[in-house]
Amino acid sequence: MIAIYKRELSSYFRTVIGEVFIGLNFLIFGFFFLRYNLLGLSSNLNGALYNTAFIGLMFMVPLLCMRSFSEEKRLKTDQLIMTAPVSVAGIVFGKFLAIATVFSLPTALTLILPPIMGRFGDVPYLWNYADILDYWLYGLMIISICIFISSLTENQIVAAVISVVVLLACNLLGETFEGIKISWLKDILNSTINFNGRLMTIYMGSFDLTSIVFFVSVTVLFLFLTGQVLQKRRFTVSKGNLTMTAYSSATILLVIALVVGANVAILQIPDEIREVDLTSSRMYSLSKESKEIAAGITDDVTLYFLARENDEASETRDLTVDRILKNYAAAGSHVTLTYIDPAANTKFYQKYTDTDPGYSGVIVVNGTNGRSKAVPYNDMYQKDFDYQTYSQRTTGSDIEGQITGALQYVTMTESDLVQAYATSGHGEMELENYYTKILENANIHLQGLELLKEGQVPEDCGLLIIDAPRYDFTPSEEEAVEDYLSKGGDILIVSAPNAMPGSMPNFNKLLAWYGLSLTDGVVLDYTQGNYYATFGTPSYLLPNLSLDDEITSEIANSALQTVFMPEAQGILFDEQDKISYTRLLTSSDESFISSDPQDAESASYTMGIRAEKTLDSGMSIAVVYTSAMMFTNQADDLIAGMNQKLFDHTIRALAELSTDFVTIPVKSMDSYLTIPMTIGNVLSVVGFIFIAAVVIFAMGIVIWAGRRKK
């Protein structure tokens, strides 16, 4: 076998085939890596690997394998191998191993990419390396199929064309199996023909043993079938033994049955045993906090899942929601999962809510105290408008956040709930869906407040929010807010740097109540790592975070260690006896203010602060941020959810939620790279890939041309 392996491997590099395959692999993968990872800022290789596998390997592998047996069969040199003292298994595996080596060389390059991307963001290493393993095993599987097809014909072109057609069919036919109502037949077809379904499993973030068993078993099957083809030809050449045909047929049927049986059997293993959540946000798993919430419930709580437990129609339940609900039921002995068929029980939801939660929606009911909360299916996923495709795209999962929030809501008393108010009438920013969902999941009810009409802050206000007003408060409005604060009220203030300097004296008076004031211009920071270099402007800040405060410490200890603050003012303050300050967000020591950069002295400016003012009875807490755009969906997408996490921690601190209360932020469907350095350094990575491809091409052509002359 070793001799066969060396002979075959050297033959791929004596000709131009090996170099062409490796070069094309580099080019195709490099293109998708540039598209998804460097330009798309994704920290996951799944997009680049999937498209390289589905588009590239489908055509490149047949070209690599087409000559493995067909060429020798055409030239009759196969008879030398057939009569050599080498086993059939040695012949097949030697050739397979040689082709697998050529395929593995460019695949090995991808192993260094996750650590490189890790310099620019929170990279899900386990998921990335599982993707690479999945890609490699998929490649080995289709190599075995193409080798088998090559053993059936003498024509290389025919072998290549048939291989492409077979691979294309096996990748596309899987979509038609979902309409089959016979479950055992659908399982068999999915277990044997649905290549793309298995390839997609790990790329979606769930390491499913069915994919590994599928790729390995199909590889073994086609290598075995190739051996049977050679075995038949060897006996035909040497003995003409007719009994071998019957023996081979029986053996082939037995091996096929074993492969199909193994793939069907592994599907029967429970999901929680055979599947591992690889997503960085643990999208398919429950957090420790949610498990503790479910385990601590003593009332009898039922999760009504509005879906059929065993779908046989075209409309199927959301399997991710189904999986997460099962996790809740497993974590809490008093939590029960019940399926309700909405087609058979059309009015079931009306017992608990006026609005239909939709198919795959959930209604959480506390059977002990009678409290209930509906979780509409449309609220379980976070969606944004993609201006490139002009369509909605799903960017995050809020399933756990919604269900955990609902569980806490139905087990709470009314006194545990928090009422928040956001001022309006001054051109304030309106909180977008990322941030309103954080409030909803924390069971904080947010309501608008027009102070001119109300005349005062309501007595039930547990948190007041002033979000980037562009126009000033009236003196009476300022007095109403100050009266609320003097009674121990807490407030979140976000300033708007685009407001005219000196045009908001009453708003500034509110800040002065805490001993704070704002700089006239925004902070500029050219220090590498303290601004978002992708946009090329030093006012798009990546500030330093305090390690000493509960609001920022978790983010400061994360992989990114920062948040995104576009156009932020500086906060000025003097230490006072009754007010304590914690600088939450700061610039580097080399930053300065844009209003007069020539005369400004470099200094570290504060852009986020926590001020605690001691009153005659109690304390009033204010958290102030100075970037109007920081709590927006767009800003959060650019920083892999860190701004959302900062908002969540801020709300938790100000609303004084119980330490037992849990809020689960929206889990991003993908994590993004933040590149705080020149884009040229980053593009050098993909440049290396393309240069390597060109060099390998050139080497192959030079070697091939030199041998042609000889």
Q: pLDDT tens for residues 249-284? A: 788 888 888 888 887 787 777 766 777 877 777 788
**SS3 state at 50:** helix
Residue 176 domain-assigned (yes or no):
yes
Within this chain, do residues 503 and 559 fall inside the same structural domain, yes or no?
yes
Least confident of 245-254, 299-308, 368-377, 412-421: 245-254
pLDDT of residue 464: 96
Burial label for 455, CB within 10 Å (0-12, 13-18, 19+), is: exposed
Residue 385 domain-assigned (yes or no):
yes
Mean pLDDT of all residues in 630-650: 87
- Per-residue pLDDT for 435 more than 60? yes
Residue 677 domain-assigned (yes or no):
no
- Per-residue pLDDT for 636 more than 50? yes
DSSP category for residue 546: -
Total Cβ atoms within 10 A of residue 502: 8
What is the band of 611 on the pLDDT scale with cuts at 50, 70, 90? very high
State the DSSP H helix or E strand holding residue 339, giving kind and residue range, or none if neither: strand 335-339
DSSP count for the chain of H helices, then E strands = 26, 22
How many angstroms separate the Cα of 666 from the Cα of each of 259, 294, 399, 439? 41, 19, 8, 11
- Per-residue pLDDT for 174 more than 70? no
Within this chain, do residues 21 and 94 fall inside the same structural domain, yes or no?
yes
Question: Is 201:210 a contact under the CB 8 Å cutoff?
Answer: yes
Residue 472 domain-assigned (yes or no):
yes
Least confident of 139-143, 157-161, 462-466, 491-495: 157-161
Q: Which two tokens stand for residue 611?
A: 């001020």
pLDDT of residue 551: 92
Within this chain, do residues 11 and 45 fall inside the same structural domain, yes or no?
yes
Phi, psi at residue 93, to the nearest 5°? -70, -35
Residue 666 domain-assigned (yes or no):
no
- Per-residue pLDDT for 313 more than 50? no
- Per-residue pLDDT for 390 more than 50? no
Residue 69 domain-assigned (yes or no):
yes
CATH of the domain at 377: 3.40.30.10
Within this chain, do residues 199 and 341 fall inside the same structural domain, yes or no?
no
pLDDT of residue 677: 43
What is the band of 473 on the pLDDT scale with cuts at 50, 70, 90? very high
Within this chain, do residues 309 and 439 fall inside the same structural domain, yes or no?
no
pLDDT of residue 625: 97
What is the band of 689 on the pLDDT scale with cuts at 50, 70, 90? low
Buried b (16+ CB within 10 A) or exposed e, 154-163: bebeebbebb
What is the band of 23 on the pLDDT scale with cuts at 50, 70, 90? confident
Residue 681 domain-assigned (yes or no):
no
Residue 143 domain-assigned (yes or no):
yes
Name the residue range of residue 622's domain. Answer: 417-656
Please identify, among 384, 414, 444, the residue that sits at the C-terminal boundary of a domain: 414
Within this chain, do residues 48 and 178 fall inside the same structural domain, yes or no?
yes
Calpha distance 79→60 (Å, rounded): 28
What is the band of 3 on the pLDDT scale with cuts at 50, 70, 90? confident
What is the band of 679 on the pLDDT scale with cuts at 50, 70, 90? very low
pTM of the model: 0.60
Strands (E), 195-261: 206-208
Q: Are strands 579-586 and 461-467 parallel, antiparallel or unpaired?
A: unpaired
Total domains in the chain come to: 3
Within this chain, do residues 399 and 480 fall inside the same structural domain, yes or no?
no
- Per-residue pLDDT for 531 more than 50? yes
Within this chain, do residues 232 and 349 fall inside the same structural domain, yes or no?
no
Within this chain, do residues 24 and 147 fall inside the same structural domain, yes or no?
yes
Within this chain, do residues 695 and 604 fall inside the same structural domain, yes or no?
no
Calpha distance 98→90 (Å, rounded): 12
Question: Is 262:213 a contact under the CB 8 Å cutoff?
Answer: yes
Least confident of 34-48, 209-223, 566-580, 608-622: 34-48
Nearest to 507 by CA among 498, 520, 518: 518
Q: Which two tokens stand for residue 211?
A: 């994919």
Question: Is 641:666 a contact under the CB 8 Å cutoff?
Answer: yes
Mean pLDDT of all residues in 323-342: 92
Burial label for 236, CB within 10 Å (0-12, 13-18, 19+), is: middle
Please identify, among 383, 414, 445, the residue that sits at the C-terminal boundary of a domain: 414
Please identify, among 346, 379, 414, the residue that sits at the C-terminal boundary of a domain: 414
Least confident of 12-16, 348-352, 482-486: 12-16
What is the average pLDDT value for the chain, to the nearest integer?
82
Number of residues assigned to the chain: 710
Phi, psi at residue 565, to the nearest 5°? -130, 95
Mean pLDDT of all residues in 18-40: 82
Within this chain, do residues 490 and 506 fall inside the same structural domain, yes or no?
yes
Mean pLDDT of all residues in 426-454: 87
Question: Is 523:569 a contact under the CB 8 Å cutoff?
Answer: yes
Q: Are strands 461-467 and 491-494 parallel, antiparallel or unpaired?
A: parallel
Total Cβ atoms within 10 A of residue 188: 18
Q: Which two tokens stand for residue 488?
A: 């121990």
Least confident of 254-263, 421-430, 480-489: 254-263
Higher pLDDT, 441 or 47: 47
pLDDT of residue 448: 94
Mean pLDDT of all residues in 85-101: 85
What is the band of 33 on the pLDDT scale with cuts at 50, 70, 90? confident
- Per-residue pLDDT for 186 more than 80? no
Place of tokens 């009314």: 414
Question: Is 566:626 a contact under the CB 8 Å cutoff?
Answer: no
pLDDT of residue 491: 96
CATH of the domain at 545: 3.40.50.880
Within this chain, do residues 233 and 137 fall inside the same structural domain, yes or no?
yes
Q: pLDDT tens for residues 281-300? A: 778 888 888 999 999 999 99
Least confident of 27-36, 68-77, 480-489: 68-77
Best-predicted range by mean pLDDT (10-24, 434-448, 475-489, 596-610):
475-489
